[in-house]
Amino acid sequence: MIFEGDIHLGAKILTELIATEIKMNRSLTFLFLILIVVTGCNNRNSEAYNPVINEKTEEKKEIATKIHSGKKLMETQCYICHSPSAAEKEGRIGPPMIAIKAHYIDDETTKEVFTDAMWNFLKNPSKDRAKLRGAVRRFGVMPYQPFKKEEIVQIAEYIYDYQIDEPSWFKEHWENGHKKKRKPYKNNGKIAAGVSDMTVKDVGLSYALGTKKVLGKNLMGTIQAKGTLEALTFCNEKAYPLTDSMATQFNATIKRVSDKPRNPNNKANIEELEKIEYFKELIANDKKTEPVVEKKNGYNQFYYPITTNTMCLQCHGEPNEQITSEVLATINSLYPNDLAKGYKINQVRGIWSITFKDAKNE
């Protein structure tokens, strides 16, 4: 919920915030916000997002009145890499979901066969079993992520039973982008109820977790392939540009800030410091942490804690214990004013501070 511990928020503002949040969640303005956020302010693809209910579709298609649970799961867990709004050539980190539907489902495929095929791939993604050869060449095999089977089943059901969002470039790409002529793909199914039930919090969280995944994947990859020392250079040179490029993709401002920054540019401001204290208290007391969202002049300001695990301590733990002397020397020379040492696991290392726009200001 809204950040209730914030003493600087007057009761009136708080009530207003709650009211706007509730209104926003339910209203069409919110749908519009989602559309803009997802399409990155780019209306080029908007026809792909507004399932136009013309007479033709109306006689044939069933329009779902209830939102399918798989829709939201897909939007929060898969769209970060399988977004239907990313451009064909640039900035994409994976194929749009329709490409997966097109490769996995033909006239003969039953829902069970599709669900099993998808789960079989996701529980252990590998090059041999990938059906999207072109995508593997371009993006590499999908990185393994510990998804829950029951959630994948719901996502598969949604993809199978519903028309899913597809980028406007996809049809052309499918028909003409390959040497061998392909059978037309199908995007059959019910039309999803119009209003997405992604709350502002869900949107912010999908940005934070998405950026974390991309950062984490790169960092882990570098540590494994080249060691901690080399990974340090990665953090030093690449962390910021990466966050920045994720921000461009989402049309948002994404910051990782800390009360004890390594890089002085990542120093938390007063409001962010308050949130850090708030999250620290929750985590110290084993309480569940929910994102905090505040509204400011038509912007959503989103906060979510970044906590430490064992891996982090190689660079953020005790000097000469978890941080080897070699790594320590490099840290100290790159960051003479480093404050980000001495952490233990499951502590608040900092927060995501993400700003994204409201529809009203577009």
Q: How far is the CB of 341 from ligand HEC (least distance, A)?
A: 10
Here the tokens at position 289 are 């942490």
Specify whether the CB–CB gap between 197 and 117 falls below 8 A.
no
How many other C-beta atoms can be found within 10 angstroms of the C-beta atom of residue 307?
Answer: 17
Specify whether the CB–CB gap between 139 and 95 falls below 8 A.
yes
- In the complex with ligand HEC, the residue whose CB is nearer, 17 or 153, is 153
Residue 312 is a binding residue for ligand HEC (CB under 6 A): yes
Scanning residues 3 to 62, which ones bind ligand HEC (CB under 6 A)? none
Scanning residues 208 to 227, which ones bind ligand HEC (CB under 6 A)? 213
User: For ligand HEC, how many residues bind (rule: CB under 6 A)?
Assistant: 50
Q: How far is the CB of 30 from ligand HEC (least distance, A)?
A: 23
Using the rule CB under 6 A, give the single segment among 34-42, 56-64, 125-133, 178-186 that binds ligand HEC.
125-133
CA dist 6 and 193 (Å) reads 36
CA dist 89 and 170 (Å) reads 11
CA dist 268 and 259 (Å) reads 6
CA dist 119 and 86 (Å) reads 25
Scanning residues 269 to 308, which ones bind ligand HEC (CB under 6 A)? 306, 308
Q: Binder to ligand HEC among 228, 245, 253, 324 (CB under 6 A)?
A: 228
Residue 148 is a binding residue for ligand HEC (CB under 6 A): no
- In the complex with ligand HEC, the residue whose CB is nearer, 174 or 358, is 174
Using the rule CB under 6 A, give the single segment among 2-10, 90-98, 164-172, 288-296 that binds ligand HEC.
90-98
Q: Binder to ligand HEC among 256, 275, 341, 357 (CB under 6 A)?
A: 256
How many other C-beta atoms can be found within 10 angstroms of the C-beta atom of residue 124?
Answer: 8
CA dist 279 and 115 (Å) reads 38
CA dist 208 and 186 (Å) reads 33
Here the tokens at position 42 are 């780019």
Q: How far is the CB of 361 from ligand HEC (least distance, A)?
A: 29
Residue 349 is a binding residue for ligand HEC (CB under 6 A): yes
Site string for ligand HEC, 185-204 (x = CB under 6 A): --------------------
Residue 316 is a binding residue for ligand HEC (CB under 6 A): yes
CA dist 38 and 251 (Å) reads 9
- In the complex with ligand HEC, the residue whose CB is nearer, 31 or 122, is 122
CA dist 86 and 92 (Å) reads 6
Using the rule CB under 6 A, give the single segment among 26-34, 47-55, 233-241, 246-254 that binds ligand HEC.
233-241
Scanning residues 60 to 79, which ones bind ligand HEC (CB under 6 A)? 77-78
Here the tokens at position 187 are 């995007």
Q: Binder to ligand HEC among 49, 121, 185, 356 (CB under 6 A)?
A: 121
Q: How far is the CB of 159 from ligand HEC (least distance, A)?
A: 8
Residue 350 is a binding residue for ligand HEC (CB under 6 A): yes
Q: How far is the CB of 139 from ligand HEC (least distance, A)?
A: 4
Residue 131 is a binding residue for ligand HEC (CB under 6 A): yes
Footprint of ligand HEC on this chain (CB under 6 A)? 77-78, 80-82, 93-95, 100, 118, 121-122, 125, 130-132, 135-136, 139, 141-143, 147, 152, 155, 213, 228, 231-232, 235-236, 239-240, 256, 258, 261-263, 266, 306, 308-309, 311-312, 314-316, 340, 349-350
